[in-house]
Structure 1
Amino acid sequence: MSRSPDTEHCVSVHLTDCGHETASVVFEVLREAYPQGCDAGPVPARGTAEAEHHVVWSSTVDTATPRTDRAGAPAALVEDVRAEIHGAAHPVRQVRDALAAAFATEDHGTVPGEHEVEVRLRLTATHRPVG
């Protein structure tokens, strides 16, 4: 049974300052962590194809059924990306931990709300392209 994006287990993830390829890498990590509860791929929430780095890439993650047998090397990014994670505190923490296990992260603050929390992260490229 599919869950509504409004359940307490659902978290919104928004990525900025990156292209489609980088957003795809980040969302693939989340699909691996939550295979039954993640959108199919990065969806541009705002912006245009001509200005790809000004797009907000958006996905919803349902954390109700995490994969417990995850193992593997951290994912490689070719560029840094800003991530904002919105939702209830525990599911947001789960998604933050999944991203921190896969990428080098910098904490850029938490904004508490009455029923939700927002966590801001910077996922950093561990191997910068030569050029």
Structure 2
Amino acid sequence: MASDQGTGTANRRTGEHPAECDVTVQLSDCGRDDAVAVFGALDRVFAGCEDVAPHSAAGREPTVWMATFDSSAHSGEADPAPRLSKEVEALLTGDHQAVEKVEKALGRLFELRSAQHVPGEHETESRLLLASR
């Protein structure tokens, strides 16, 4: 998939943590407001974003927004659940348990309209379709 990538990285390396706790979240088919809503909600659940707002170069909207979250830095719940303007495709990649934690958090925040899982030996991939509740 050829795309521009948003640089809204959601990493805060305030301390050392195992790499298997990191989950990369890629959002596609959405604009900046929906990306901010999803990443902001995940940031409130998992803490660790210095700069959750996605950025784009020269005013162009990227076709994929990407951020990485530390699934071990659980800080609470994002209430209320954010509204999305339309369905958003999310691709989660990382360690099996880490991806499961992030997917469960997204399931509490949004309606999951579909979910596909592609297991690997050391990582898993989860494709979700998110919608407002």
TM-score bin, normalised by smaller chain: 0.7 to 0.9
| Identical residues among aligned pairs (%) | 32
Q: CA deviation at 1:72?
A: 2.4
Report matched runs for 1:40-119 at 5 Å.
40-43=51-54, 49-50=59-60, 52=61, 55-68=63-76, 70=77, 72-119=79-126
Aligned residue in 1 for 2:29 = 17
Instruction: Specify the code of the residue in structure 1 equivalent to 2:124.
Output: V
What TM-score do you get using the length of structure 1 for normalisation?
Answer: 0.79
Q: CA deviation at 1:115?
A: 0.2
Mapped partners of 2:15, 2:68: distance in 1? 13
Q: CA deviation at 1:107?
A: 2.6
SS state at 1:8 partner:
helix
Q: CA deviation at 1:2?
A: 3.2
Contact 1:82–1:121 (Cα < 8 Å) also in 2: yes
Mapped partners of 2:50, 2:31: distance in 1? 18
Instruction: Specify the code of the residue in structure 1 equivalent to 2:39.
Output: F
Q: CA deviation at 1:106?
A: 2.0
Structure 1 outlier segments of 4+, above 3 Å: 1-4, 42-45, 47-50
What TM-score do you get using the length of structure 2 for normalisation?
Answer: 0.78
Aligned residue in 2 for 1:8 = 20
Contact 1:92–1:117 (Cα < 8 Å) also in 2: yes
Root-mean-square deviation (CA, aligned residues, Å) is 2.4
Q: Which runs of 5+ in 2 are unaligned?
A: 1-13
Q: CA deviation at 1:59?
A: 0.1
The verdict on how the C-alpha distance between 1:71 and 1:7 changes in structure 2, with shifts beyond 3 A counting, is: closer
Question: Size of the alignment, in residue pairs?
Answer: 120
Q: Which runs of 5+ in 1 are unaligned?
A: 127-131
